[in-house]
Structures are given as C-alpha cells and as structure tokens.
Amino acid sequence: MTVDSDSNETVQAEVTEKLRDKLQLDHQTGDLKIRNIRSADCGLYELDINSPRGSSKKSFSISGVASDDTKVVLVMERDSVILPSGLSKIQREDQITWKFKDTLIAKINETAGIFSTYDDVFDGRFRYRLHLTNQTGSLIVTNVKPNISGLYEINISKSSSRYTTHKTFNVTSKEGESRQSVTEGNSVTLLSGVSEIHSDDVIAWRSEHGDSIIAKIDRGKVFNTLDGADGRYSGTLELDSKTGSLTIRHIRTEHAGLYHLDITGQRRTIFKRFFISVCSQNWFRYVMVVIVVAVLLLVVIGAIAVIRCRQTQNGKYYKKLMY
C-alpha cells in the first residue's frame, strides 16, 4: 500500500491479505485506519516515509485491543439511547469525536476545552437531541426518530499515543411500544425479543411506578427480582433464565402502566417499552352481564319480529278468505 503526497513523499505499508479489507488510508496525511480490529491483528506496525529530503521510519506497537465489531442498538421511537464511549473517565489528553454517517456531530478535546455538539447538521434533524456525558464522553441521543437511525462512530485518540480507537454503533428505531391487556388475577409475559442471553449482557426491567428497577440480570449469571419502590411487586415476578423475558403473576390493577426493558452488552444494546392495561374482575363480570343481557334482548326482539310477521301474514290470509 503506497501513498504519493503533494510534497513528493512516498509512504509505504506492507499488509497481509487478511488485513487488506480492514484498512483505510488517508490519502492526504497517510494515516492508516484499521477497522474491526481483533487480538490477532495486534503486534508491531512499521511506517516508511521516503522523500527527496530523506527518509524516516516509525513503528507502532498495538496490544490488548478489543474487538471493534459494529454494535447493533435497537430503540423504540421517541425513546432515548446512550452510546457508550467505553471510557470510565475522560483524561486530559483525550480527544473524542462522534460522527453520524461520517459527519461530525460531537467533539471533546480536554486540553483545548472543547465540549461541543453540532446539532445543526443534516438539516437540523439532531436539534436539541444530542448530549454528551461529562465524565465518560458517551453520547446521548434523545427522542429517536427514523431519520436519525443509522451508523454512529466514535474515535478516541490520546496525544501521548500513536493510534486511534474506533467504535461503531448501528442504531435502529422501532415504532411505538408493545401494548397488552390482561384480566386481574391472570399472568402476563413481557417478551425480551432475544432468543438467548449473552454472557456479557446486563438486563434491567423498570416500572414507571417510582421509575424503579424491578428485575435485573447481571452478565447472564445473577438473576434478581425486586418488590418495587412500594412493594407492589412482592412475590409476583419471574425471569426467564434463557431469554430474560419477565412474567408478572396474579396481576392486579395497580400493576398497570408502562414498563421499560434495557439490554446492554458488548455486541448489542436494546431498549423496549411495554404498556399493560389491567381489567378488574368486577369490571369483567359487568361486561359479561352486559353482553349476556344484550344477547337475550336480541333474541327477544327477534322472536317478537317473527311473531308479528306471522300475525301479519295470517291477517292477510283471513282477509282473502272473507272476500
């Protein structure tokens, strides 16, 4: 791989066939980007720069790099999504950029004091929707709509290092929330939508009542169901050990409302909403009585109509006999 710059410098990089499809070369600066990097790609990289003024050589040692697969993020429309930077805390030498479809939407440069979002791009579709977390540099996108679904990329570099870390997120919005109706005393299951829990998944079920976590699975190992802020869920919750779906047993009217599911892991992030309406048993009995009465009335009205029809026909028959 060779780049000839405007200054008559020649940059050479020898690559293997396995790496070739992962590489992207900046033809202006000669910087080399390695996408989808894995532990097998770690090692020593050498750069040779040749020009009429002389030649120079640089070496880069890359080690301990985690996989950079694109992470799929599924979120309900009008919900918010957090795209994690992967940092526990921003350091002074960190330089972070967030891009959407290769266009800059946020930037952090601790040294220069830059902590900015650029929500006027793409005809303003991001206006008032972009936020950066002060501690980690993670990006929060609020009120997600289909026109801001797509590929997001974060680039993290340090002034003391010679390479940049890249992470990509494919954000997909799903319309509305799942609505379910159940009769008091019965059970309802809220489906997670995944076939199997990954070993790195953290799953949290939240109720709108006190915005409290009512069930949690930590990295596919620790399963916990809680009673809720006021104890209304005591003895009613059950988690599926394979899928993370939540079952509410012996449901009561106080359990009605909005529920949130958050699944976060290395390979996926999923946000879902569920709205449960609960019909009381008394209301159900009342409805059944109304239905039965309505059916009986229809039968009676039908019988009366048949009798009158026959009476009318008989009356016409007698009149014919008289004349």
pLDDT for 178 equals: 81
Query: Is residue 322 one of the residues assigned to a domain?
Result: no
Cβ–Cβ < 8 Å for 96, 138? no
Residue 160 domain boundaries: 71-174
Residue 101 CB partners (closer than 8 Å, separation 6+): 150, 151
| Range of 43-47, 226-230, 263-267 with top mean pLDDT | 226-230
pTM confidence score: 0.53
More confident residue, 260 or 43: 260
Considering only residues 62 and 304, tell me which one the structure prediction assigns the higher pLDDT: 304
Tokens of 243: 């899928």
Q: Are residues 159 and 102 in the same domain?
A: yes
Number of domains in the chain: 3
pLDDT value of residue 11: 46
The answer on 107 and 161 residing in a single domain is yes
Domain end: 152, 174, 196, which one?
A: 174
- pLDDT given at position 314: 62
Rounded CA separation 131/140 (Å): 5
Q: SS3 of 258, please?
A: strand
CATH of the domain at 141: 2.60.40.10
152 pairs with which residues across the strands? Answer: 100, 169
Which of 115, 146, 174 is the last residue before a domain boundary? 174
Residue 202 contacts by C-beta under 8 Å, 6 or more apart in sequence? 216, 217, 218, 219, 263, 264, 265
CA atoms within 13 A on the CB side of 247: 10
Q: State pLDDT tens for residues 131-182.
A: 999 899 999 998 888 899 999 999 998 877 767 888 999 998 877 678 898 9
Q: For the chain, what percent of residues have pLDDT higher than 70?
A: 81
| pLDDT, mean of residues 260-285 | 82
Range 254-290 burial, b when 16+ CB lie within 10 A, else e = ebbeebbbbbbbeebbbbbbbebebeeeeeeeeeeee
Residue 288 lies in a domain: no
The model's pLDDT over 184-197, given as tens digits with 9 standing for 90+, comes to: 999 999 999 888 99
In angstroms, the CA 23 to CA 17 distance is: 11
pLDDT of residue 1: 52
**Residue that is last in its domain, among 243, 261, 279:** 279
- Tell me the C-alpha distance between 134 and 190, whole Å: 34
Q: What's the Cα-to-Cα distance from 183 to each of 53, 113, 206, rounded to whole Å?
A: 83, 57, 22
